[in-house]
Amino acid sequence: MPSLRGMGYFIDSFTVTACVIPRHRLRGDEPPCSIRKPTGQAAMIRYVLSRLTSLAISLIVASLVIFLVVEVAPGDPASYMLGVNARPDTVAALRIELGLDASKPQRYLSWVSGMVTGDFGTSYTYRSPVADMIGDRLWISLPLALYALALSTLIAFPAGIYAASRRGGAGDTAVMGATQLGIAIPNFWFAMLMVLVFAIKLRWFSAGGFPGWERGFWGGIKALTLPAVALALPQAAILARIMRSSLLDMLGEDFIRTARAKGLSRRQALWRHALRNALIPVLTIIGLQFSFLLAGAIIIEQVFFLPGLGRLVFQSISQRDLIVVESVVMLLVFAVITVNFIVDLAYAAVDPRLRTGR
């Protein structure tokens, strides 16, 4: 754990809790040296397989939980779709059409096998395929999340490294103050401020909406820029703090002293030895942030009138369109678990000790 250095580091402490597991694994007790570790490719394949297995198990458990929760939710979708005055035989016919009359295990299996083949069912409210609805939204939400994540990383890495290399100096204080502000300011308010300045005053960007990718790549990017900045800023502030505290931790390690004794300057020791070791907690946070950005952008989508996933979920919940909710949630779970899998692979790329199954 990065140590707490006073109350100003409060944010670090709460975000860093997420990094406990990998850091702990790295610092575990040395096994007796006579235990021979499997090395090389077999160990790497084993590592990937074990991560893949846990990915598959997580997906199965998640799909079961989501299905059961939606099952116990009150209300019959068929009668909801047809309204309170519908005739019972019409409702029954619709139930059969929607496949609601089958047994629960059967319905679970057909839901899962449908998803695997890309058939997510039909929206209760709009009577259109759920897959198409989600697909349209995903074309906005996914680029937006990636864009925001790229911005956040591009801001956080230099800021965190700069602050750590000038620890206690004016530059460090300035960066830390800025991150404090970035965390404290609500991003919707910041978004509105940007609309006022860049859309209404300067007219560099439009105030909201999305023209669609078919109208050109740069047009789409331009429409997503203000929302991405609004999303990225608080994330960048958190990430910069993690980067800084993780680097400072590493700079206190013995191997940095060894590097300095070899003749490396403070700067060289930071870039060549501390940085890569400091990446593990940073990668953890990046993974968590991506998942959040994908689904948690609803307020920003609202401010900029973007038809993204967040708004789709919100609308579906208020319209009891449970099949859409079910599918979007499953998709998000899939995204989160996949991102975690990629983060796990990134850990192994960064740290050779994880490749040997430690």
Partner 1 sequence: MTLLSVQGLNVAIHGTPILRGVTLDIAPGQIVALTGESGSGKSMTALAVMGLLPQGAVATGRVMLGDADILTTPEPALCAMRGRDMGMVFQEPMTALNPVQCIGDQVAETILVHGKGSRAEARAAAQDMLARAGLPPDRFPLTRYPHELSGGQRQRVVIAMAIALRPHLLIADEPTTALDVTTQAQILDLLKGLVADFGMGLMLITHDLAVVAGIADRIVVMRKGEVVEQGATGDVLRHMRHPYTRMLFDASRHRVSLPPRPAPVPLLELRNVVRDYRVPAKRLFASAGRFRAVDGVSFTLHRGERLGLVGESGCGKSTLTRAILGLEPVQGGEITLDGAPVFSGGRPNLDVRRRMQVVFQDPFGSFNPRHRVARLITEPFHLLDNPPDRDTSVAEALRAVGLSPGDADKYPHQFSGGQRQRIAIARALIIKPDLIVLDEAVSALDVSVRAQVLDLLADLCRSHGLSYLFISHDLSVVRSVTDRVLVMRAGKIVEQGETETVFTAPSHAYTRTLIDAAPVLPDWQDTPDPDPDRSLANA
Residues that bind partner 1 (CB under 8 A): 26, 30-39, 42-43, 45-46, 49, 253-255, 257-265, 268, 272-273, 276-277, 350-353, 356-358
Residue 266 CA from chain centroid, whole number: 34
Q: Which of 19, 303 has the CB closer to partner 1?
A: 19
Q: Which of 183, 270 has the CB closer to partner 1?
A: 270
How many residues are listed for the chain in this entry?
358
CB of residue 22 to partner 1, shortest distance in Å? 13
Q: Which of 26, 62 has the CB closer to partner 1?
A: 26
Which value, in Å, is the radius of gyration of the alpha carbons in the chain?
A: 24
- How far apart are the C-alpha atoms of 59 and 238, rounded to whole Å? 29
SS3 at position 350: helix
CB of residue 282 to partner 1, shortest distance in Å? 14
Residues 6+ apart with CB under 8 A from 174: none
Six-digit token string for 35: 């235990």
CB of residue 238 to partner 1, shortest distance in Å? 24
Report which of 240, 219, 85 is spatially closest to residue 152, judged by C-alpha positions.
240
CB of residue 36 to partner 1, shortest distance in Å? 7
Report which of 209, 208, 205, 207 is spatially closest to residue 222, judged by C-alpha positions.
205
Six-digit token string for 164: 């750590």
Q: Which of 214, 254 has the CB closer to partner 1?
A: 254
- How far apart are the C-alpha atoms of 212 and 221, rounded to whole Å? 10
Q: Which of 26, 207 has the CB closer to partner 1?
A: 26
CB of residue 23 to partner 1, shortest distance in Å? 12
Q: Which of 36, 87 has the CB closer to partner 1?
A: 36
- How far apart are the C-alpha atoms of 220 and 338, rounded to whole Å? 26
Q: Crossing angle for the helix pair 170-184 and 217-251, nearest 10 degrees?
A: 130
CB of residue 168 to partner 1, shortest distance in Å? 9
- In Å, how far are 115, 192, 236, 292, 306 from 228, measured between CA atoms? 30, 13, 11, 13, 12
CB of residue 268 to partner 1, shortest distance in Å? 7
Q: Which of 41, 85 has the CB closer to partner 1?
A: 41
- How far apart are the C-alpha atoms of 249 and 269, rounded to whole Å? 13
